[in-house]
Structure 1
C-alpha cells in the first residue's frame, strides 16, 4: 500500500521526502509526479514504506503537520482505477 502526500512544497525533492519519512521506518520508494508540459512538480507525491505498520505511524504523525511552509495532507493512497 502507498501513502499519498498532498500539499507538498513545489521545492521538495524525492530526497527531502525520503528524509522526512525515514524517521518512521524504511522508505522503499518515493514518487513525485511532474507536469508533462512544464516539468514542474505537481505538489503531491506517493511514498511506499516497508510495512503497513510503519505507513500507519507515518500517516498519524505527519498528517496536518507543517513542512517547508505548507500543511501536509497525508493518508493512504487510493488504488488507481
Structure 2
C-alpha cells in the first residue's frame, strides 16, 4: 500500500492522475476498451465535501432524515414528562443554592456518599473568584444519582439550603417528533 501524506492536499493533476489510473485498472479488469469520454467523466466525478456515503439510506419513507438519538433509560413506550434523561456520558444533577465559598471538595464529599461522582463542575465568578451558586454533578449510574437527589434536595451544605434536580429531563408526550393530530394546517 502506498504511503499517503495527509499534511498537503493533492494538486488537481494528482487527483486526475489517480482517477485516470483507477479507470484504467477497472477497464483492464473488465476487459473493455476504455473510451476517452469515459475517462473524462471519471475525472470530472471528483467527490468533495463530507463523506461519500449514500444519504438516501438515511431517510425515512416520508422524506424525513433519520438522526442518531439517545435511547430511553427505561423500557419501551413514551417517556414520562419530567423523567430524568441521560446525557452523553452519564446522569447529571443540577445543584443550586450553593454557598459562595463552597469548594469542589465540599461538594464531592457530600455527593460521593451516594455513589461514584464522575465529574463536578463549579462555575466561578470572574471578578470575585467565588462560586456563582450552582454546580453540575455527574454520576455514571442512574440509581446513585436518584439516591443523591432524594437525600440531598432541600438539605444543608455549609449552613445553606441546596436544591438538587436533574439537569436533563425528557420532554413530555407530544413534542416535535411526537404523534398527534395537532400541528400546521
What TM-score, normalized by structure 2, do the two folds share?
0.41
Pair 1:21 & 2:120 matched = no
Give the match's secondary structure for 1:31: strand
Give the match's secondary structure for 1:43: strand
- Let me know the Cα RMSD of the aligned residues: 1.4
Unaligned runs of 5+ in 2: 1-90, 170-185
Unaligned runs of 5+ in 1: none
Q: CA deviation at 1:55?
A: 0.4
> Aligned pairs, how many?
79
Query: Whose strand proportion is higher, 1 or 2?
Result: 1
Pair 1:11 & 2:11 matched = no
Partner of 2:149: 59
Task: Give the conservation status (yes or no) of the 8 Å contact 2:155–2:162.
Answer: yes
